[in-house]
């Protein structure tokens, strides 16, 4: 399996822009925390989170390939369940579907990063002191971080967590990496 340093080099080689790198790092942190909570392989889940959008710079104009090209690029670097999760995270675009807990975890984990990041940027203290209730309030405001799929975030239930527990886990995972993610003030 690919190691983190090699994964970061791969992201750099694919011209990952800074905003997408922040998203990848946030997803990595959340997926590691989810794996720990669900007693899954933390390294596999974290690397999958880190690399799930590897193809985004090249599929932005061809969204029906998003997730599929990443899985193809990583075929010899990740186990099949990780590749399936990468394909499933963009199921609405590529015609796939989520089936496993891993699939749903990646879908909700990568989706919530945008909501939490946007909320943190609006706060004078960044992510520090952020509470679940404030993120839930932002979820209800469809105009806030409008591109974030609330439906995907709610799929945390299929991954094995209630919404409040999932949001608490995601906030804490991102808070632990606040400096790296640019979310501390």
pLDDT of residue 160: 95
Domain that holds residue 43: 4-181
pLDDT of residue 58: 93
Provide the number of structural domains found in the chain.
1
pLDDT of residue 185: 76
The residues near 183 (Cβ < 8 Å, ≥ 6 apart) are 117, 120, 121, 126, 127, 174, 175
Residue 11's CATH number: 1.10.3210
- The whole-model pTM stands at 0.97
DSSP output for 6-49: HHHHHHHHTT--HHHHHHHHHHHHHHHHHHHHHT--HHHHHHHH
In the structure, what pLDDT confidence band is assigned to residue 132 with cuts at 50, 70 and 90?
Answer: very high
Contact 161, 169 (CB under 8 A): yes
């Amino acid at each position: 399996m690919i190691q983190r340093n090699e994964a970061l080099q791969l992201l750099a080689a694919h011209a990952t822009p800074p905003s997408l790198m922040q998203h990848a790092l946030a997803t990595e942190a959340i997926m590691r925390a989810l794996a720990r909570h669900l007693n899954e392989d933390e390294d596999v889940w974290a690397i999958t989170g880190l690399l799930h959008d590897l193809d985004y710079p090249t599929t932005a104009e061809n969204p029906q390939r998003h997730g599929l090209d990443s899985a193809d690029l990583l075929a010899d670097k990740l186990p099949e369940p990780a590749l399936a999760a990468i394909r499933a995270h963009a199921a609405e675009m590529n015609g796939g579907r989520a089936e496993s807990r891993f699939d749903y975890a990646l879908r909700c984990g990568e989706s919530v990063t945008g909501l939490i990041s946007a909320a943190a940027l609006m706060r004078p203290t960044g992510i520090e002191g952020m509470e679940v209730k404030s993120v839930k309030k932002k979820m209800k405001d469809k105009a806030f971080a409008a591109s974030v799929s609330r439906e995907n975030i709610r799929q945390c239930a299929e991954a094995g967590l209630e919404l409040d527990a999932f949001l608490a886990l995601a906030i804490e995972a991102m808070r632990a990496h606040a400096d790296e993610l640019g979310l501390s003030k």
